[in-house]
Amino acid sequence: MPKPSAGKLAKVAREARACTRCPLYKNATQTVFGEGPVGVPLMLVGEQPGDQEDLAGRPFVGPAGKMLDRALADAGIDREKVYVTNVVKHFKNEPRGKRRLHKKPNRYEVEVCKVWFDQELALVRPTIVLAMGVTAASALAGKAVTLSRLRGQVVSFDNAAGQRGLVTIHPSSILRAPDEAGRRAAYAGLVKDLKRAGKAAAKLPKAAWSGTAPTRKAVSSRA
């Protein structure tokens, strides 16, 4: 198995900066590539950069990122030791006055952009990927999935070389919860899933990726 290479990842990130594979680049400030060390056991993946990420050129630095940082701290996970990225690298948005409203990427945009995420996966080689939100979970599974059906267990994503991972809610969904009780419950769920992911990443040896862990559940893209 090749060694993780920061140099190769930096090269891919440079290539991604010039990406015009789908029209999303036209309306965005810049490509927002993932960040973090290669070879770390845990990768967190979201949907796409938001307004602040688009301006800063870094993933999860806006309101959802602040929520994620808080949850990571409560889960006892150091963000510096995690690779953080998105399946889509450009901010899809619709200008509305002075604001830019987030628009969900469609299947084509996710599929076309996945060339970058797949390379991040191959070069970072995490033991566990925590897919945050349905866009990330579906991109990894290669088909539309329901978070509630997969949540709480280590799954094997069929289409990504058997990549193991877990799914959880997107941190921004906490901000959209209708009331304080809902926000608290959603936040507690995210922290719990982060802890699960951290534990699984520390426990499962990289060499056992293709093995059959007792907790594993296959999410077949051919189902």
User: Which residues are near ligand URA by CB under 6 A?
Assistant: 46-50, 53, 59-60, 62, 64-65, 86, 172
- Closer CB to ligand URA, 46 or 204, in the complex: 46
Could you count the other beta carbons within 10 Å of the beta carbon of residue 153? Answer: 13
- Closer CB to ligand URA, 59 or 126, in the complex: 59
CB of 208 to ligand URA, least distance (A): 29
| Pairwise CA distance, residues 138 & 133, whole Å | 9
Query: Using CB atoms, what's the residue nearest to ligand URA?
Result: 46
CB of 88 to ligand URA, least distance (A): 8
| Pairwise CA distance, residues 23 & 33, whole Å | 17
- Closer CB to ligand URA, 46 or 198, in the complex: 46
Strand partners, 131: 45, 167
Q: Taken in order 82, 42, 46, 8, is the CA torsion positive or negative?
A: positive
CB 194 within 8 A of CB 154: no
- Closer CB to ligand URA, 109 or 204, in the complex: 109
Could you count the other beta carbons within 10 Å of the beta carbon of residue 37? Answer: 13
CB of 93 to ligand URA, least distance (A): 12
CB of 147 to ligand URA, least distance (A): 14
